[in-house]
Amino acid sequence: MNAAAPTESPARAAIVDIQHGLATSGYIASDAIATVLYLARALSKPVLVEGPPGVGKTELANAAAKLIDKPLIRLQCYEGLDESRALYEWKYGKQLLYTQVLKEKLGDLMAGAQGLKESIARLHEFDDTFFNEEFLEPRPLLKALWAEHGAVLLIDEIDKSDQEFEAFLLELLSDYQISIPEIGTVRAKHPPLVFLTSNNTREIGDALKRRCLHLYIPFPDYKLEQRIIESRVPELEARLRTQLVSFVQGLRGLDLKKVPAVSETIDWARTLVLMHANELDTQLVRQTLNVLLKFQDDIENVDAEIPALTRTANKS
Amino acid sequence: MTQALTHFIKALRAADVRVSTAESIEAAATLETVGFGERTLLKTALSQVLAKSLDDKARFDECFEAYFSSRALDGERTPRAAADDPDAEADSTPDGLAAEGAGGGGSGGGGSGEDSLLALLERGDGASLQQRLAQAAFNVQLQNIRLFTQRGMYIRRMLEDMGIEQVEELLYQLIKRDDDDPRAERLREAKARLSEDVAAHVDQQMLLYTANAGRQLREEILQKTPLARVEMRDFKVMHELVRKLAKRLVALHARRRAVARRGRLDVRHTIRRNIEYDGLLFDTVWKRVRVDRPKVVAVCDVSGSVAQVARFLLMFLYSVSEVIPKVRSFAFSNYLGEVTELFETQPVETAVTETINRWGMGATDYGGALAELERLTLDDIDHRTTVLILGDARSNYSDPGERALRRIHERARRVLWLNPEPHQLWNTGDSEMRKLAAACDRVEPCRSLRHLERVISEIARTAV
């Protein structure tokens, strides 16, 4: 986005490329975002993305998947998420069914066996029938490791999961491998590009942070937000866009419970397009404010400020 | 290159950013891919590798600015050159090692090699002087500077390393011969400027590497100081420390508060258990995780005899109740009262002061207080409750209330007593520690933050 330095380094060139690539799929990336993508691929490290809700953390993974043309595999974290949901599960039903079916075959199999010892010895030959990959139901993490041509793995809202789960992820994040007791170690054919997102509802452990690159996405500044809206809601005319963005930027300066994020700005822009508005005025803002602010308290508190905010927005 | 990076990481650590060895290796790899060419790019990339939280990022930015601008003291250099500067320093590293070896050889550093410092000064060769200065900083290991008082020493050492002695000698000769020698005048000026540069460089490095050293030292000492002897002015630091402590302890032990998963069949166990019924799924096993909901009832003596310590204990209680949901706190001297609500609604200073004002200053009445505690909480105490009592057990020769405590003890999971007095003073005078100890699971001395940490950690491990 910045003018390239006079002597452009190969790294800078790659980063500018990434920015362009992301822009084609509608994601306007700041320098920091593009840099982290570049580093993640160069160093083959996972990326931990933090920032307030609604600034495009999850969207980043989507855009990155499109950029490198790999499937996106998503794991939504929640309290109580465990490995049978995240990694793998045995297909118990199938195992059970097979046991029942095989029971009838057992007689044939054992025909001619002399005594218990020999029968058991013969059974041992079929030892691992029920615990091999046939009966394994892969969950997102295992799917990402198994992916034929690599993948983008998004572990969303890692802060919602338990600490145990965080510890369980460490092996995956540092070596791109996972140990399954019954089978052994599964190693990724192509290390997936991993994104972890967090809203900071709790502090993420140091061990996990150490293994990741850390990206903090703040609210975008005036220019960047303009470009984002321009790319997302191209129908909106330029003058209204400037007004809208500077209004939202002004709103973020106030003391609110929940500050409007980029996603809200986009929603608002769409709303204004639908309403065929061509200029921001107090009346219009009052009508549509509930798109931007999600708490009644906030809406009431802001009410007095609306005329002033609208005026400054219209001047810009 | 690595030299510059290691020193930078050292500066980061001094600024309280935690950088592990693995992360330094990654930083080196990052340098290789990104290169030194572009300052902003380098900054963004390194910050993503080294600083892993918002606070850390702010400190990183500060450090980065200070560290990489310090290389551009000289006005002759363009900002562009400044951005390239780490490169320049990287190139000089092998020379640095060589020069260090030579210095050991007895030449005293300067003078040897290409141009002498004298020649550089007389020529006014800023760039070379700058390089020489960085070299000298490396030779005297300026990055090891820790205290303000070392400033003068390091400045002198650097000047000597650069070969100032020769200059001084000549200056002396010149002045002796002729007081107003123009050459001497110029030389003196140049020397003064050089000293200024060196001093500025040392100051900057000191800022980089010692920003937090003083605080760290103070925290270390405070942790060991008996609570009763902590000065008023250290309260702020102390509160920070107590808070850190509480947070760490709770984070460390909060792991078992997992949610119970209701109503999910544990297929593995079910199959295993039903083997004896011929594989017929007859006896089902459900997944279940025990929910551990610890409760703490904390009682704090705030009478005159323990007033000093009580402040910190209350602070600690306050911090704990911020992080553990179910803490009921009480304070007493001659009366006992519940302060849970106060702790929940007021900021820490107000809450602590208010508690001491309202319940402190009386003569301690353990008998009355424990009876009141029994009345208020006995119904609430069960096998999950930890009762924590902080006090010196000095009951002014009246009933120590051990019978009430015994009844509490019978119900609670455990009763712990923390005594701020040293062990030798227990059971002397009006101290009733022995009687009360009989109704406790443990009695521990609790005189400094270290003690407090150890004791609470133990409680947390088994109860919280």
Q: How far apart are CA B341 and CA B177, in angstroms?
A: 84
B219 belongs to a structural domain:
no
- Any bridge partners for residue A156, and if so which? A76
Which of the residues A1, A16, A17, A43 would you substitute to probe the B interface, choosing the one with the greatest number of B C-beta atoms within 10 Å? A43
Report the run of H or E that residue B118 belongs to, with start and end: helix B117-123
With 0-12 CB in 10 A as exposed, 13-18 as middle and 19+ as buried, what is A98?
middle
Q: What is the pLDDT of residues A113-124, one digit of tens each?
A: 777 888 888 777
B79 and B180 part of one domain: yes
Interaxial angle between packed helices A262-274 and A222-232, expressed in degrees from 0 to 180 and rounded to the nearest 10 = 50
Q: How far apart are CA A181 and CA B209, in angstroms?
A: 48
Around Cβ A220, how many Cβ atoms within 10 Å? 22
- Look up the domain containing B177 and give its range: 2-214
Name the pLDDT band for A39 (thresholds 50, 70, 90): very high
Does A216 contact B22 at a Cβ distance shorter than 8 Å? Answer: no
- Any bridge partners for residue A75, and if so which? A155
Q: How far apart are CA A4 and CA A22, in angstroms?
A: 18
Please report, for residues B135, B303, B354, the alpha-carbon distance to residue B336 in angstroms, rounded to integers and kept in the order given.
Answer: 68, 11, 14
- Closest in B40, B52, B258 to A162, CB measured: B258
Check which CATH number belongs to the domain holding B333 and give it.
3.40.50.410
Check whether A258 has a pLDDT greater than 90.
no
Strands B385-390 and B295-301: parallel
Name the pLDDT band for A269 (thresholds 50, 70, 90): very high
Check whether A60 has a pLDDT greater than 90.
yes
Residue A133: predicted pLDDT: 78
B154 and B178 part of one domain: yes
B221 belongs to a structural domain:
no
The one-character DSSP state at A191 is: P
Residue B109: predicted pLDDT: 39
ipTM confidence score:
0.82
Handedness of CA A9, A15, A18, A22 (dihedral sign): negative
B316 and B426 part of one domain: yes
The C-alpha of A102 sits at a distance from chain B's nearest C-alpha, in angstroms, of: 13
Q: How far apart are CA A168 and CA A178, in angstroms?
A: 9
Does A35 contact B48 at a Cβ distance shorter than 8 Å? Answer: yes
B165 and B312 part of one domain: no
B206 and B232 part of one domain: no
B317 and B416 part of one domain: yes
Tokens (6 digits) for B323: 């992080």
Q: Side-chain half-sphere of A112: how many Cα atoms within 13 Å?
A: 3
**Amino acid symbol at B155:** I
Q: How far apart are CA A292 and CA A248, in angstroms?
A: 8
B240 and B146 part of one domain: no
The C-alpha of A182 sits at a distance from chain B's nearest C-alpha, in angstroms, of: 13
- Closest in B37, B40, B271 to A7, CB measured: B37
The C-alpha of A175 sits at a distance from chain B's nearest C-alpha, in angstroms, of: 14
Averaged over A138-145, what is the pLDDT?
Answer: 90
The one-character DSSP state at B394 is: B
- Find, in chain A, the residue whose alpha carbon is nearest to that of B45: A35
Q: Tell me how many domains chain B contains.
A: 3
Contact call for residues B223 and B312 (beta carbons, < 8 A): no
Residue B80: predicted pLDDT: 37
Check whether B79 has a pLDDT greater than 60.
no
- Any bridge partners for residue A294, and if so which? none
The strand ranges marked E within A18-115 are: 47-50, 72-76, 88-90
What is the residue-averaged pLDDT of chain B? 75
Name the pLDDT band for B113 (thresholds 50, 70, 90): very low
Residue A215: predicted pLDDT: 93
Q: What is the pLDDT of residues B305-316, one digit of tens each?
A: 777 777 777 877
* Candidate from B244-258, B313-327, B371-385 with smallest mean pLDDT: B244-258
pLDDT above 70 as % of chain B: 77
Does A92 contact B267 at a Cβ distance shorter than 8 Å? Answer: yes
Q: What is the pLDDT of residues A68-114, one digit of tens each?
A: 999 999 999 988 788 888 888 888 888 888 888 877 777 777 777 77
* Candidate from A216-230, B353-367, B429-443 with smallest mean pLDDT: B353-367
Residue A156: predicted pLDDT: 93
Q: What is the pLDDT of residues B372-417, one digit of tens each?
A: 888 888 888 888 788 888 888 888 888 888 888 999 998 888 888 8
Considering B245, B268, B287, which residue would you say is the last residue of a domain? B287
**Amino acid symbol at B277:** Y
B242 and B115 part of one domain: no
Does B44 contact A31 at a Cβ distance shorter than 8 Å? Answer: yes
- What per-residue string of b and e applies to B118-128 under the rule 16 or more CB within 10 Å gives b? bebbbeeebee
Q: What is the pLDDT of residues A238-257, one digit of tens each?
A: 889 998 999 999 888 888 88
B223 belongs to a structural domain:
no
Which of the residues B20, B21, B26, B44 would you substitute to probe the A interface, choosing the one with the greatest number of A C-beta atoms within 10 Å? B44
Tokens (6 digits) for A219: 């609210």
Q: Identify which of A304, A285, A275, A180 has the alpha carbon closest to the alpha carbon of residue A243.
A: A285
Contact list, B45 vs chain A (CB under 8 Å): 35, 39
Q: Which residue has the tokens 């107000």?
A: B350
Which of the residues A47, A214, A217 would you substitute to probe the B interface, choosing the one with the greatest number of B C-beta atoms within 10 Å? A214
Which of the residues B31, B39, B40, B41 would you substitute to probe the A interface, choosing the one with the greatest number of A C-beta atoms within 10 Å? B41
Averaged over B417-443, what is the pLDDT?
Answer: 85
Tokens (6 digits) for B30: 């990052």
Name the pLDDT band for A216 (thresholds 50, 70, 90): very high
Considering B189, B214, B239, which residue would you say is the last residue of a domain? B214
Q: How far apart are CA B368 and CA B419, in angstroms?
A: 19
B220 belongs to a structural domain:
no
Q: How far apart are CA B463 and CA B386, in angstroms?
A: 7
The one-character DSSP state at B431 is: B
Does B255 contact A164 at a Cβ distance shorter than 8 Å? Answer: yes
B41 and B120 part of one domain: yes
Does A92 contact B259 at a Cβ distance shorter than 8 Å? Answer: no
Q: What are phi and psi of B374, to 5 degrees?
A: -60, -45
Check whether B68 has a pLDDT greater than 90.
no
- Any bridge partners for residue A185, and if so which? A179
B-contacting residues in A 139-158 (Cβ below 8 Å)? none
Considering B183, B214, B245, which residue would you say is the last residue of a domain? B214
B281 and B312 part of one domain: no
B274 belongs to a structural domain:
yes
Averaged over B110-127, what is the pLDDT?
Answer: 70
Tokens (6 digits) for B156: 């002198």
B277 and B369 part of one domain: no
